[in-house]
Structure 1
Amino acid sequence: MQPDKKLFTFEETKQKLVNYCVYQDRCHAEVEQKMREFVLIPEAKEEILLYLMKENYLNEERFTRSYIRGKFYIKSWGKTKIKMHLKQKGINDRLISTCFDEIDEEDYQKTLHRIYDNYSSKLSGLQNYQKKSKTIKYLLSRGFEYESILQIIEN
């Protein structure tokens, strides 16, 4: 047995995981990762997961929607970056696609435009093509689509 794992009763473990899910929306992968901290038999893990889902503490769609809103409206990430991070968390493509309606298309364009203006205004002393390529690279790293970036640059 590993010394860093804590020993709790089944009920204590269940309550700790409920608190973990209540504090912030979680996906299955995060909850399963958290469960590894506890010494549990597979049946107990399964029972706790079922309980969390049945009581709606663990809801993949709610997690996905809140993740998309947070990463876009707070961190100003583009759809590509958000989708990539959700896939790393084990969320399927269909759910990701249906939840992208959380981002208003007008807000998306405004945010892309704002980030473009802020970044390109900081670039001085460069040739036009250098400025354009650095800006495109930056916006791609923020997760915006190439086609959307080109539309902004051309206008």
Structure 2
Amino acid sequence: MDKQILVKAANFCAYQERTQDELRQRLKAWNVYGNEAEELIAELISQDYINEERFAKTYAGGKFRVKKWGKIKIEQALKIKGLSDYCIQQGLREIDEEEYFLVLQALLHKKLHEYRELENPFIRKRKTADYAIRKGFESALVWDILREI
């Protein structure tokens, strides 16, 4: 195993949380393949540079707090990144249920206000619901909140 590549890969992982797939792709870009790549990944896991559960928690928390994504969209993004169901569930547990509800409620209020020029209240609510569902929030929860508003 090339120590120089190991240091380079460790720095890559230390900069921000990474998944094994992200590191594997970067190693390919550095022309490191096969067993050598897998040995490097195993070494970085043992040194705790790569921890997919930690990645999932950081990713889910960040996407929820910063981009206001719902759980469905976060779960899909984590699946695309190749994380296990266990890691995905651990990541989603980072989202506080009460905060989730309040963020969705605020998002819906804001969108309803933006669509205030629409005469028909059903169209206004439908457009608002569509927006929240595209952001990854559960449709049943979206409609429950919209009925209360």
Are 1:148 and 2:127 matched, yes or no? no
Structural mapping, 1:1-155, within 5 Å: 10-126=2-118, 127-155=120-148
Counterparts of 2:60 and 2:22, CA distance in 1? 16
Q: SS of the counterpart of 1:102?
A: coil
Name the SS for the 1:36 alignment partner.
helix
CA distance in 2, matches of 1:21, 1:65: 16
RMSD (Å) for aligned C-alpha atoms = 1.3
Deviation above 3 Å: which 4+ runs of structure 1? Answer: none
Change (3 A) 1:120 1:42: same
Q: Gaps spanning 5+ residues in structure 2: where?
A: none
- Shift of residue 116, structure 1, vs aligned partner: 0.6
Aligned to 1:111, the other structure's residue is in SS state helix
Q: Which amino acid aligns with 1:60?
A: E
* Aligned position for 1:5: none
Which string of whole-angstrom CA distances, capped at 9 and with x for unpartnered residues, describes residues 33-91 of structure 1? 11111122422112101110000000010000100110011111000000000000011
One-letter code of the match for 1:34?
A: R
Q: Separation in 1 of the partners of 2:126 and 2:132? A: 10
The CA distance in 2 between the partners of 1:142 and 1:19, in whole Å, is 33
Report the Cα distance in structure 2 between the residues aligned to 1:33 and 1:41, rounded to whole angstroms.
10
* TM-score, normalisation: structure 1: 0.90
- Note the residue ranges of structure 1 that are not aligned, 5 or more in a row: 1-8
Provide Cα deviations, 1:129-154, integer angstroms capped at 9, x if missing partner: 11011011100111100011011101
